[in-house]
């Protein structure tokens, strides 16, 4: 199976972030935490973003941040 390019991974993250924002909508914090459906929907999008990140080819250039492993 061919490896996906960085832009495809970033697009997946962007879509998940936009969905999370739309699920929270214009809810206040109090309304959001009182709404388990909205909380689960947003949580699910964070899970998707977390699953995409390890497989992505997003890397910092060598020497850009020497304190971080490649």
Q: Which residues have a Cβ under 8 Å from the Cβ of 70 and sit 6 or more positions away?
A: 59, 60, 62
In a domain, 40, yes or no: yes
Instruction: State pTM to two decimals.
Output: 0.69
Q: Report the domain count for the chain.
A: 1
In a domain, 67, yes or no: no
HEC states along 5-65?
Answer: CHHHHHHHHHHHHHHHHHHHCCCCHHHHHCCHHHHHHHHHHHHHHHHHHHHCCCCCCCCCC
Q: Assign 3 a pLDDT band (cuts: 50, 70, 90).
A: low
In a domain, 29, yes or no: yes
Q: How many CA atoms lie within 13 A of 16 on its CB side?
A: 18
In a domain, 59, yes or no: no
The domain of 38 spans 6-54
**Of residues 30 and 52, which shows the higher confidence score?**
30
In a domain, 27, yes or no: yes
In a domain, 16, yes or no: yes
Q: What is the pLDDT of residues 6-51, one digit of tens each?
A: 788 889 999 999 999 999 988 999 999 999 999 999 999 999 998 8
Q: Assign 1 a pLDDT band (cuts: 50, 70, 90).
A: very low
In a domain, 1, yes or no: no
In a domain, 65, yes or no: no
């Amino acid at each position: 199976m061919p490896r996906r390019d960085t832009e495809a991974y970033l697009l997946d993250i962007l879509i998940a972030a936009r969905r999370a924002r739309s699920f929270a909508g214009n809810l206040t914090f109090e309304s959001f935490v009182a709404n388990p459906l909205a909380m689960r929907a947003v949580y699910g999008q964070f899970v998707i973003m977390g699953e995409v990140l390890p497989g992505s080819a997003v890397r910092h250039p060598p020497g850009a941040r020497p304190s971080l492993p490649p």
